[in-house]
Amino acid sequence: MVYCQGCPWRCCYCHNPHLLPGRAAGGSAWSEVLGFLRRRRGLLDAVVFSGGEPTAQPGLARAMRDARALGYRIGLHSAGIYPRRFAEVLPLVDWVGFDAKAPFDAAYERITGVRASGEAALASARALLASGVDCEFRTTWHAGFLSPAELERLTRTLAELGVRRYALQEFRASGGAGFRPEGGVVAADLDVLKRRFAQFSLRRA
């Protein structure tokens, strides 16, 4: 897993706040990561770019090409924040874990703190589904920041867009920026959600 520094969104539940600034001390240059990957050829199968938000990196496509040239398969964790760069790297990836946060409207802005974030995420989600790249959509969920009705609306939209694999990840209070939503995780109607997707997983906190 390669954790990329930088993300312009400020999700209330972010578990990697130290990765949000564009620059930070203590990271590794891509040349060092590449050296590591050269030494591990034959021992590792894949490189997954995660973050932060990997599409915040102008050099993401080049890094993916470098890793592919060494024979690695490529994974990407993304919230689809930069639709153009996201679409640019899709031909280079074998698998995408797509973070879908809320219905693609004002609810998105409430989670991310950024205007029009839902529009960007929706554009990227459409590009991903049109590409045919293997993918899983996932949502971090707690009724303290996303109501059961909003979750219902989001999953209905995703199913209509053509999402086949979906994971609901219960919010974990450990780590992150100390965010603690009020109340407990209210049970959603999981049977309804499950029926919407060919594959459905519930990841308990």
Would you count residue 102 as binding ligand SF4 (CB under 6 A)? no
Would you count residue 14 as binding ligand SF4 (CB under 6 A)? yes
Q: Among 63, 67, 79, 89, which residue interacts with ligand SF4 (rule: CB under 6 A)? A: 79
β strands within the chain, DSSP E: 2-3, 46-50, 73-78, 95-99, 134-141, 165-170, 199-203
In DSSP terms, 78 is beta-bridged to 98
Question: How far apart are CB 81 and ligand SF4 at their closest, in Å?
Answer: 6
Pick the piece of the chain touching ligand SF4 (CB under 6 A) from 13-21, 30-38, 57-65, 130-138: 13-21
Residue showing tokens 């964790």: 77
C-beta closer to ligand SF4: residue 112 or 155? 112
Would you count residue 7 as binding ligand SF4 (CB under 6 A)? yes
C-beta closer to ligand SF4: residue 65 or 203? 203
Would you count residue 51 as binding ligand SF4 (CB under 6 A)? yes
What is the C-alpha to C-alpha distance for residues 5 and 172, in angstroms, rounded to an integer? 22
Pick the piece of the chain touching ligand SF4 (CB under 6 A) from 49-57, 63-71, 131-139, 178-186: 49-57
C-alpha torsion 173→176→178→179, nearest 10: -70
Strand order in 2-3's β-sheet?
2-3, 46-50, 73-78, 95-99, 134-141, 165-170, 199-203
Structure tokens, 71: 């024979």
C-beta closer to ligand SF4: residue 12 or 34? 12
Positions that interact with ligand SF4 (CB under 6 A): 7, 9-11, 14, 16, 20, 51-53, 79
